[in-house]
Amino acid sequence: MAIDPLISSMRIAGSGMQSQSTRLRVVSENIANAQSTGPTAGSNPYARKTITFDSELDRASGENLVEVKSIGVDTTPFRVEHMPGNPAADANGDVKMPNIDLLFEMGDMREANRSYEANLQVVKQSRQMLSDTIDLMRS
């Protein structure tokens, strides 16, 4: 904990908000590209992106901040749909579709939102506590 634990709280929660923001961005990309096929016949489509968080110990202040460790690629095999007329269809008329489950992504989005709100709540409360302490000195 740094000199002022409440300021640390705000910084930690801030790092949480940032990470959840990035998570939301990744999920949005996945949802937007749920139907994105490859450019040429038989080529691979958009591959689902995954995100991993990591706890980062800030040496100067001793705070347990969270950061995005990496944005990776989901290696689950692509779905195959039979669409002979599609530009991306191979010799058999099969098209590889992104390995994205919309229901899952929507659920992930709700979770990311919930976590974001929780971090925001911590920021608000810490700020309120600091403000109340300072108010003691008033008059």
Point out which residues bind other proteins (CB under 8 A).
1, 3-10, 12-13, 15-16, 19-20, 23, 52-55, 63-66, 114-115, 118-119, 121-122, 125-126, 128-130, 132-137
For the CB of residue 15, give the shortest distance to other proteins in the complex, in Å. Answer: 6
Q: Which two tokens stand for residue 65?
A: 């901040």
Distances 46 to 39, 77, 132 between C-alpha atoms, Å: 10, 12, 51
CA 67-72-76 angle, to 5 degrees, is: 140
For the CB of residue 45, give the shortest distance to other proteins in the complex, in Å. Answer: 27
Shorter beta-carbon distance to other proteins: residue 23 or 96: 23
Q: Which two tokens stand for residue 72?
A: 């990776």
DSSP label at residue 48: P
Q: Which two tokens stand for residue 43?
A: 């080529």
Shorter beta-carbon distance to other proteins: residue 36 or 127: 127
Shorter beta-carbon distance to other proteins: residue 83 or 109: 109
